[in-house]
Amino acid sequence: MLELYPEIEPFHSEWLSREQLDENNQHEIYVEQCGNPDGIPVLFLHGGPGSGCRPGHRRFFDPARYHIILFDQRGCGRSKPNGELRHNDLPHLIQDIEAIRDHLKISKWMLFGGSWGATLALAYARDHSKNVISMILRGTFLGRREDIDWVYGAGGASKIFADGWHDLQQLVPAGANLLDSYFQLLQDDSAETRQQGG
């Protein structure tokens, strides 16, 4: 069985400011760089949406060969404000990826994404193919109606991951639409309620 590369720490981390992203929004994006700054640039795109990057995500790449870039998408992980939904959509996320590439002065890079991260990689490559060397996609989620229904409906993932499905339903009234209910939780005035929903 193949093993992940050893644990590593970032050689640089920062938040891209509102001005670096889009002066008309409130988001600040957490970005970290690991591995070889002169290596092949690879951007890790986390799943979710809503989860953020973890230290284990750095371990997919040989740190001697790759310049590993990770970032927490808008409203996720260490990006600020956490759980914020305004100006948090696919066009803004694609714009953030380009802002990161420009900020780091990278002409072309690899994309590595799983689940929602694969969706985001495909959308970015559609709009900015000239900036993409290659892509590694795993657990691809295309965001089609049938994909959303399989993950959040009562027939697909709920049958395979019954315990996780049970946990997911704990904050939702019985019989309520799961996505609509979580969307309402994420827009609640209470920060505590928003955190529960995220």
Our CA dihedral for 129, 133, 137, 143, rounded to 10 degrees, sits at: -10
Spatial separation of the C-alpha atoms in residues 129 and 150, rounded to whole Å: 29
Domain range enclosing 1: 1-142
Q: Cα separations (Å) of 114 from 25, 61, 120, 132?
A: 27, 14, 9, 17
Spatial separation of the C-alpha atoms in residues 104 and 57, rounded to whole Å: 20
Residues 6+ apart with CB under 8 A from 13: 30, 31, 32, 33
**94 and 171 co-located in one domain:** no
pLDDT values of the chain reduced to their tens digit, one per residue, 198 residues: 679 999 999 999 999 987 787 666 789 999 999 999 999 999 999 998 778 999 999 999 999 999 999 999 999 999 998 888 888 899 999 999 999 999 999 999 999 999 999 999 999 999 999 999 999 999 888 878 888 888 887 778 888 888 887 888 887 888 788 778 877 877 777 766 656 655
How many domains are there within the chain? 2
**88 and 154 co-located in one domain:** no
Global pTM? 0.83
**43 and 15 co-located in one domain:** yes
**56 and 131 co-located in one domain:** yes
